[in-house]
Amino acid sequence: MTLIMTWLRKFSLSFSDYKNPRLSQQLQQDCSITEQKTLLSLPSFSFPFTNQSWPLILPHHHHLDLQLVRKMQRRYSSLEDMTRNLDSVQERVLAEILSRNAETEYLKRFHLDGATDRDSYKSRVPVVTYEDLQPEIQRIANGDRSPILSSSPISEFLTSSGTSAGERKLMPTIHEELDRRQLLYSLLMPVMNLYVPGLDKGKGLYFLFIKAETKTKGGLLARPVLTSYYKSEHFKTRPYDPYNVYTSPNEAILCPDSYQSMYTQMLCGLIMRREVLRVGAVFASGLLRAIRFLQLNWQQLAQDISTGTLNPRVTDSSILRCMSSILKPDPELADFITRECSGENWEGIITRIWPNTKYLDVIVTGAMAQYIPTLEYYSSGLPMPCTMYASSECYFGLNLKPMTKPSEVSYTIMPNMAYFEFIPHDDMSAPVLSRDSPPHLVDLADVEIGKYYELVITTYAGLCRYRVGDILQVTRFYNSAPQFRFVRRKNVLLSIDSDKTDEAELQNAIENASVLLKEFNTSVVEYTSFADTKSIPGHYVIYWELLVKDPTKSPSDDVLNKCCLAMEESLNSVYRQGRVSDNSIGPLEIRVVKNGTFEELMDYAISRGASINQYKVPRCVSFTPIMELLDSRVVSVHFSPAEPHWTPERRR
């Protein structure tokens, strides 16, 4: 495969031109007779979604993996077929889902009577939210094994980072969904290799972790989607793939102790630093936590490498076994790490330590965009391709042009993953939907460029016309498949890692914290917030303007610190897990501003054209002049003095 791409770049030809006579001499030089015959027997085929010519950027290879050629060709052919015949694929997917689940309690409720066509489905089955489905989901969680949502047995629950009543949502899934997700994963590296060749010649340094899991009352596992994948046989016994070799051993990824897992993964990444071609984590915030971990632990890491002995804080028996064959004394490498990490300047630290890194593989769309400047600083501006669009409910699609700037990323939804519909969404206001007034939803093939939509899915696992809560904008088409820019999560106000806090939750947290101020005859008259990602880990910052009715008994610093903790105790379990278990979120901060600050904020907004009659205090701010105004009026700063309560056990 790589050899073919080399020829094409050399002669500035498309893949369909590889039989051109001008290549015959090169063909004879570079291939065995068997390889030549096999190559020339391949049908004419052109690679999708790339330019027609490339510069010569590949190293020369004397081996052609013909099996890989065929495999990649099949994958691209499948992708081309799906995106060209998008609407018919969608029609088939819906018919399959409805046919399989026709006898489920949920679908029988709407009297489809075996109908599998779109019109019947859309006219009878309502658009729903998680709260609408919660009674059915709870019955499954409690042990009811009858076909409620899906005719296939629910294999486990995937816990969504979206929250409901302070708890993670439980998304039912079935065994075959793992195969469907694996299919999408299988396209990631072939697509990347079109833009960044040679990825089969090294390793990926990925910081991957499992998170806490629990069991429902009925005995089903409930855990995050990536924890489910890493613990699956699909991952643990995956066949060797030269495009997906990690520096991190499975034993480190699967270690439940976050310190031991991070330490081992960082240590292996340092030992194999010359082999690393890409560095990544799931979210941008996760990669920055790894850099911060290196800042705090480089001395111990260097000592381990120098002596060939492992940090005594690493006690996991499976890690100890696998590291015995990886960790050997290397004083020269230890000295290098000491030189690079002991100085004050950490600019470009990623490319200094891992000099062959071609890109950072992290999610930097949506709320993660706030981390881009910091990642650019640490990586000397390496590209940050966003490859996949997925959630706990469903895996959606791929970015077919992964090397575009993060602000220009668009995802192509794969029509075989689920049945997709879209609620037209004026970005200023969401349409009001109810069970009694089903809206007219737009099919995947009928969305329009430039318009905003809210995503609605129907899955094989039994979610029917389910509102995911993502707002997307159509940017262009690939064949007949629309490509979408992720705009935001609906109603999400604050996010640091996988947490999502909306306005109602923030309001409730402030009300609960305000109770502590009552005995001091003090109240919160206004507030706003922002997610501070300059610190690692990032943390929530809340600006309070207080009304102190009796200055002689105003609340002390200790009381205001306790207000920070009271707010944290009121936030959802995903936030609290990030604080307590994952160490992905720092202590919440309250900045008290002087009286009259929020009036100044309104004056500023009006001076920029806001209507005085329609002005509302923004509950989250990111505009630099507004934040500078707020920070210039701060009179005291307070942090949460302890961690909030969190346990992996679900509330009953």
Q: Is pLDDT of 75 > 50?
A: yes
- Categorize the per-residue pLDDT at 29 as very low, low, confident or very high, splitting at 50, 70 and 90: low
Mean pLDDT for 361-372 is 80
Report d(CA 420, CA 442) in Å as an integer. Answer: 9
pLDDT digits (tens, 9 = 90+) for 209-222: 888 888 999 999 99
Per mean pLDDT, which range of 142-146, 233-237, 379-383 is the poorest? Answer: 233-237
Would you say how long the chain is, in residues? 652
Q: How confident is the model at residue 22 (pLDDT cuts 50, 70, 90)?
A: very low
Residues 6+ apart with CB under 8 A from 642: 565
Task: Please name the helix (run of DSSP H) or strand (run of DSSP E) that holds residue 484, with its range, or none.
Answer: strand 481-489
pLDDT > 60? residue 387: yes
Q: pLDDT tens-digit profile of 421-469?
A: 999 986 444 455 555 555 689 999 999 999 999 999 999 999 999 999 8
Q: What's the chain's average pLDDT?
A: 83
Reference 157, options 169, 146, 145; nearest CA is 169
372 vs 544: which has the higher pLDDT: 544
Q: Does the CA dihedral 483-485-488-490 come out positive or negative?
A: negative
Tens digit of each residue's pLDDT (9 = 90 or more) over 45-63: 344 444 433 222 233 333 4
Give the pLDDT confidence score for residue 69 in this predicted structure: 58
pLDDT tier at 182, thresholds 50, 70, 90: confident
pLDDT of residue 588: 95
What would the pLDDT profile of 161-175 be if each residue is shown by its tens digit? 654 444 678 999 998
pLDDT (tens digit per residue) in 294-317: 999 999 999 999 999 999 999 999
**C-alpha to C-alpha distance for 591 and 544, rounded to whole angstroms:** 6
CA neighbor of 266 nearest in space, from 290, 299, 285, 289: 290
Average pLDDT of span 478-502: 83
Q: Average pLDDT for residues 553-577, to the nearest whole number?
A: 92
Please give the structure tokens belonging to residue 273.
């630093």
pLDDT band for position 493 (cuts 50, 70, 90): confident
Element (H, E) at 593: strand 589-593
pLDDT for the residue 15: 38
Output 67 or 286, whichever has higher pLDDT. 286
Taking residues 124-141, report their average pLDDT. 93
Q: What is the DSSP letter of 303?
A: H
Whether 408 has a pLDDT exceeding 70, the answer reads yes
Distance separating the N- and C-terminal Cα atoms of the chain:
54
CB 186 within 8 A of CB 244: no
- Residue whose entry in the numeric block shows the structure tokens 């005594």: 312
Contact 562, 641 (CB under 8 A): yes
With 70 as the cut, is the pLDDT of residue 612 above it? no
Per-residue confidence band for 374, with pLDDT thresholds at 50, 70 and 90: confident
**pLDDT score, position 128:** 94
pLDDT at 288: 87
Q: Please count the other Cβ atoms lying within 10 Å of the Cβ belonging to residue 347.
A: 11
Peptide bond into 537 cis (omega under 30): yes
pLDDT above 90: residue 160: no
| The pLDDT of residue 71 | 64
Give 241-288 pLDDT, tens digit per residue.
888 889 999 999 999 888 999 999 999 999 999 999 999 998 887 888
Band of pLDDT at residue 586, cut at 50, 70 and 90: very high
> Higher-confidence residue: 391 or 251?
251
Task: Report yes or no: 490 and 454 within 8 Å, Cβ to Cβ.
Answer: yes
Determine the 3-state secondary structure of 492 from DSSP: strand
Checking if the pLDDT of 613 tops 60, the result is: no
Task: Name 498's Cβ contacts closer than 8 Å, sequence gap at least 6.
Answer: 161, 224, 283, 574, 578, 584
Q: Write the DSSP assignment of 9-34 as a string of letters.
A: HHHT--GGGTT-GGGHHHHHHHS-HH
Q: Which string of DSSP letters, residue by residue, matches 523-554?
A: EEEEEEEEEE-SSSS-EEEEEEEEEES-GGGP
Confidence of residue 226 (pLDDT cuts 50, 70, 90): confident
d(CA 280, CA 396): 21
Q: Give the residue ranges of DSSP H helices in 129-257.
A: 130-141, 176-195, 225-230, 233-236, 250-253
